[in-house]
Structures are given as C-alpha cells and as structure tokens.
A = this chain, B = another copy of it.
C-alpha cells in the first residue's frame, strides 16, 4: 500500500515471543522494539529535535486532536507539513484524535457519522470523523497514521463493547477508503474491551480490511495492570506476524518489557517526559524523586552508569536545586535524562533479544522496580 513503508521481522526470541524488526519510512528507519516520545503539540516538551536525536530517538508521536484544534492542520500543511514546521526530519506517527476526543471531552456525542464535541481550549463546536481524521493526518504529513476509532472505556458492558466494535470496523473501512497518501502507512486498531471473543472478532474484522500495522487499543485506560497484560498476551499472537504491532499509551519500563515479551514492537507514553517535569527520574537503580531532601547535597549524577548529557554534567544536588527553585532548566535536564533512559532501555532490550536473554534482563529490571516499592514504603 505505502511505497516508502516496510517492516522486516528480523528475529523472534527462541524462548519468548519478543521480536526484533526494522521499519523503513520516507524519513528514516526505526529499529524495533521502539519507544516513541510524545510531542503532543508539535514539540516533545522542553526538547529540540537535535536533542531528541542526540538521545537516540528514532521516531516521535504527535497528536492529531491537539494539532487539529491548534494551530490547525491547514496551517501546518501550508507551512510545509509537520516535519518542516517543527524542524524534525525523522519519522513521525500521528494518532487519529479518537483517544483525546473522548478523554478530554466527557460530553462528546458519538454518532455513526463521527463524533461531535467541544474544543477543550475554547469550547467551540467541533466534529471529527474517520474521513476528517484521515484528511488532518494527511495535512500533517506523518509517516504513520492511525485509523479513527472509539477507544472503549473501562469498564464497559459486553453489549456496549460489541456495538462499538462493529462501528469501529465500519470506521476502519471508511479510513482505509479515504486514505490516499501513498507515502503514509496506515495502522488499524484492535478494540474489544476486556472480552476475549470481542478482541478476537476485532482482529478478524480489522485484519480482513488490511493495514500496514496493527495497534492494540483500549488498554492502559484504567484497568488493572494484570488485566491489561492478559489482553496484550491474548491479542498479540492473533495478529499477522509480518506486520508491526503497537500498543498505545504504554508505559513503565517493566510494562514495556512485558509487552515486548508478548510480541509487541512499538510503544508510546508521556511517562518519561511528564515524570521528568514532575521531578521523577528513571535510573538503573530505580526511580529518583529529585525533590527529596536527601539529594540536597548529593554530588553524584542522577544515574551513576548513565551517559546522557544531564548525568555527565550535573549532580543530584544541582537538579534538586533547579526543581525546588522552579527553574525551567530542571524540566529540560530531567527530560533529556528520561528520554535517553527510555531509548537506551529499548536499545538494551534489542541487544538482549539478539542474545535470547530478554527474560534475564527483565528479572534485573523487576528488581529495580522492587526497590522503588521499598523506597515508597520508607518515605
């Protein structure tokens, strides 16, 4: 379908379902498993594109809903598209806007034709449909675009989820029909709430339509983590092996590894960037909550084995000072570290998959996460 898009499955780990792959787009290649930092409003908060690259980012995600409302997709199209507008020449994935329409607009009205809602910025009446979402994403010019769907809320009744599933299939068909941009890959999204037969039905419907990749949606929406992973583990093997698999909005380092062990290739989450601004650093020794007074005169870097710019030049004491003094540089330096940490976690995971040793690595990450829990009990 898309001339410039391809996915090569390089390897499946011998003792797990973890996969190694390579995505090719018109703006460069992406080694999978990959984490995509989130640039909601045409910027990964606090960072320049150069910093994203220096910290091993190979693809970013941007939000159709936000850019549709502000500054507007037509404006971005007239400015030469999203890549040029934001000075990022690597691959971009845009979501469809569906998730934000529902999460930011509690009064959104769903009809067969699309969704009516009020802008969370100025209250103005808005409408999004499969066709309009495709058009917006085409204007933005992302390398990978997503079908417009309804992410079924948690919890949902079986009947609601079944009806939504059927509408989502019709919407996916409309997206496929409207999608005309040869240089954009189009991914379908599997829904079906927490019902296995509906998940299976969704896979059958969406795969039947045929897409360049498949996302598992409607997860990480408030359900218990075990349930989320149960459904990832159930759904992923139903998907075609030769297409990339993406789980949206996940997650913590351990959740990402669990997803990879289920055969997922792509992840995105605001966690590393948002936590950075809130002063929480992911490190090889677990989370560092930088405002804690124990770091006030700590001369060591946030993570003693990290090679990021922040860890090479700044102490926990300085980072704590910047955070407490509410200096913008605090958000920047923390974001650099967390983005580097996530991207290097993925790099490490890819190396472990090559060696068929991801389970061993997973055990060591779990031990770090366990220390976090102990820390919380102490504080």
Number of copies: 2
B322–A43 touching, CB < 8 Å:
yes
Q: Is the CB of A45 within 8 A of B317?
A: no
Given contacts A75-B297, A79-B297, A296-B71, A332 and B328 within 8 Å (CB-CB): yes
Closest CB in chain B relative to A5 CB, distance in Å: 26
Interface mask (A319-339 → B, CB under 8 Å = 1, otherwise 0): 011101101110111000000
Q: Are A299 and B79 in contact (CB under 8 A)?
A: yes
How far does the alpha carbon of A80 sit from the alpha carbon of B314 in the complex, in Å? 12
The answer to whether B329 touches A43 (Cβ under 8 A) is yes
A11 an interface residue at 8 Å Cβ cutoff?
no
Complex CA gap A43/B79 in Å reads 34
CB of A41 within 8 Å of the partner chain: yes
> Please, what's the 1-or-0 string for A42-86, where 1 marks a CB less than 8 Å from any CB in chain B?
110111100000000000000000000011000100111000011
| Chain B residues closer than 8 Å to A71, beta-carbon distance | 296, 317, 320-321, 324-325
Contacts of A355 in B (CB 8 A): none
Residues of B within 8 A of A46 (CB): 328-329, 332
A-B contact pairs, 23 of them (CB 8 A): A41-B321, A41-B325, A42-B322, A43-B327, A45-B328, A45-B329, A46-B332, A48-B309, A48-B329, A48-B332, A70-B321, A70-B324, A71-B320, A71-B325, A75-B297, A78-B297, A79-B297, A79-B299, A79-B315, A85-B318, A87-B313, A328-B328, A332-B332
Which residues of A are at the interface with B, using a C-beta cutoff of 8 A? 41-43, 45-48, 70-71, 75, 78-80, 85-87, 296-297, 299, 309, 313-315, 317-318, 320-322, 324-325, 327-329, 331-333
